Amino acid sequence: MVKTFRPKTPALRFTKLADRSMLEKQSGPRGLSYAKKQNSGRNNQGKITVRHRGGSGVKRRVRMVDFKRNKFDIPAKVAGLFYDPNRSAFLALLNYADGEKRYIIAPRGLKGGDSVVSGEKVDILPGNAMRVKNIPSGTVVNSVEITPGAGAKLGRSAGQAITVLGVDGSGKYVQLRMPSGEIRLVFADAMATIGQVGNEDHLNVKLGKAGRKRLKGWRPTVRGMVMHPAQHPHGGGEGKSVIGRAKDIWGHRIGTRTRKNKRTDRMIVRRRRTKTRPFAKK
């Protein structure tokens, strides 16, 4: 759920922030995090590769999340839920029976004191992890691997839910329905965590003021029409000139599909968008 505020100031009138009352007040183990370097959206050559980043953002520490879930058949107890400034989902701290501690993405319904386990075949309970080939059809999962052993890549942000559709005819792949509606294949030996990612009300959060956005490390965004012509296809001209067909900063028409990966096209069974056929001439 989200918190609303009495409009004591103009900013608070529209502010809606995530309710974190269920989270632990203290920070998690320091050994499971490291300092995050502020690079202001620049690569190793100093060139901007991510726009609108930089400024005096709050210093953060990167939490080392266990996306592989490869501690098989060792039960763990949830020590509590923690906030992570680097992602929209909350984290759950697991205390394993052998003494090790690890973070995982907190599924919806998981709370402190619960027990979780990963293995070849485990109970269908939030937080448990196993290979997708052993998960019953219709089960909602998150944190799904694309390549077995490489760590989860799909379904990691707040509220994400992936549905297992079943093993395909070859037995090598499993069909998944993504949150976008796309149906794709993943290897049957890939790991997945049971349940929907928690903090599902994150999409309803409204920061309320520009200052809170700046604290997250974001800088202002301006329209392409007010830029220099060398900076944007919409720039230049005397006054407000006509832009014609809208384009992005790289010159692509707005809405143009830029995905080009023939290597993984075969893994997509049905795309999230259906191709529209032009009207037939009579």
What pLDDT was estimated at residue 139?
96
Q: What pLDDT, on a 0 to 100 scale, did the predictor assign at position 282?
A: 46
Instruction: Look at the domain 23-202 and name its fold.
Output: OB fold (Dihydrolipoamide Acetyltransferase, E2P) (2.40.50)
Tokens of residue 49, six digits = 């590769």
Q: Return d(Cα 270, Cα 35) in angstroms, integer.
A: 41
Residue 204 is given by DSSP the state G
Tens of pLDDT, residues 180-210: 999 999 999 999 999 999 999 999 999 999 9
CA nearest neighbour of 185 among 67, 266, 68, 273? 266
What pLDDT sits at residue 71?
94
Domain ranges for the chain, please list them: 23-202
pLDDT of the residue at 108: 95
| 77/166 Cα distance (integer angstroms) | 30
180 neighbors 272 (Cβ within 8 angstroms): yes
- In three-state secondary structure terms, 133 is helix
Q: 227 burial class (0-12, 13-18, 19+ CB within 10 angstroms)?
A: middle
Alpha helices, H only, the chain: 210-215, 262-265
Positions in the chain whose pLDDT score sits under 50: 277-282
Q: State in Å, rounded, how far the first CA of the chain is from the last one.
A: 54
**Residue 186 contacts residue 204 (beta carbons within 8 Å):** no
Give the pLDDT score at 272: 87
Residues 219, 55 contacting (CB under 8 angstroms):
yes
pLDDT for the residue numbered 279: 47
Residues 6 or more apart whose CB falls under 8 angstroms from that of 217 comprise: 38, 53, 54, 55, 57, 58
